[in-house]
Amino acid sequence: MRHWLVSLGLLLAASGCAVNSCPPLAYENPIHLPPASPDFLWEQVIDVLDDYFEIEREERARRLTGVSTVGRIETFPAIGSTLLEPWKGDSATAYDRLECTLQSIRRRALVQVIPTDDGGALIDVVVYKELEDLPQPEGAPTASATFRFDSGLVRFNVPVGSQAAPAGWIAKGRDAALEQKIIGQLMARTEPRRSIFSIFQKKPCPPP
C-alpha cells in the first residue's frame, strides 16, 4: 500500500510540473489590499481562511480618531490533506500533498490586518508548518527502549516574532506556497474591475 501511494504521488508531482510550465506568480507578503469597507475586507479574509482552517480567535482592526489598531486572526491547527483527500486545498503543491500522506503534518495560520491611510489594509499572512514528534516510528518492529534520548540541557535562541511549536510537534518553518495561495484568493476577491473569468485565464510566462 505504501509503495502504491509513493508511486501515485510521484506521478502527480510529475504531471503537475508538466502542466505548470510557468513559475507561480509571487505576491508580496504583507500584501496591500485596495480601499474598501473595513467590514468587507475583514469578511473576505475570514471567508478565505475558513476554506483551510477553523478560526480560533479574531480581533477586528479598528479605526479610531487618529489611531488605528491592528486586527489579528488565529486558527486552530489543521492536519494536512493527503493524496486521498483531493477536496481539501491546504496542501498547496503536489510535494506537500505527498509529504502529508507519508508524514503527520499540520498547519496553523496567523493573519494580521493593518489599516492604511488610503482606506485599504496591509494583510500579513503567516502559515506555520509542524511535523509530529513521535517517541518511535509507527509500526516499528523494535521496542521504544532501544531508542536513545539524551536529556542534556539544550538552549534555543528564538527570534522575536516567531512562535514555539507545542509539545509533540516539531516546527518546520513557514508554508510559503499556502501563504501565496491565500493571498492570491484575497487579491482576486478585492481587486477592482476584475472579471471573474480572468481568474481562470492562463497568465503569460515572464521573459527569461
> Tens of pLDDT along 58-89?
998 887 777 788 899 999 999 999 999 889 98
- The reply to whether 198 falls in a domain is no
- The reply to whether 146 falls in a domain is no
Structure letter (DSSP) for residue 145: G
- The reply to whether 207 falls in a domain is no
The CA–CA distances, whole Å, from 53 to 28, 42, 117 equal 22, 16, 30
- The reply to whether 49 falls in a domain is yes
Residue 114's CATH number: 3.30.530
Structure letter (DSSP) for residue 81: P
> Tens of pLDDT along 141-159?
555 555 555 555 555 555 5
Closest listed residue to residue 33, CA positions, set 127, 119, 126: 119
Please say whether the beta carbons of 30 and 123 come within 8 A: yes
- Asked whether the predicted pLDDT for residue 198 surpasses 70, the reply is no
- The reply to whether 14 falls in a domain is no
The residue to which cell 516567531 is assigned: 162
- The reply to whether 157 falls in a domain is no
- The reply to whether 202 falls in a domain is no
Measured distance CA(36)–CA(32) in Å, rounded = 12
Q: Tell me, what's the pLDDT at 62? A: 81
Measured distance CA(131)–CA(58) in Å, rounded = 25
Instruction: Give the three-class secondary structure for 114.
Output: strand
User: Mean pLDDT score of the chain, rounded to an integer?
Assistant: 76
Does 199 or 11 have the greater pLDDT score?
Answer: 11
Q: What pTM did the predictor assign?
A: 0.68
Largest CA distance in the chain: 66
Closest listed residue to residue 107, CA positions, set 77, 149, 143: 77
In one-letter notation, the amino acid at residue 5 is L
In one-letter notation, the amino acid at residue 37 is S
Count of domains forming the chain? 1
Poorest-pLDDT segment among 20-24, 56-60, 85-89, 101-105: 20-24
What domain range includes position 60? 32-133+164-191
- The reply to whether 57 falls in a domain is yes
- Cell output for 182: 491565500
Which residues 6+ apart lie within 8 Å of 70 measured at CB?
A: 61, 112, 113, 114, 115
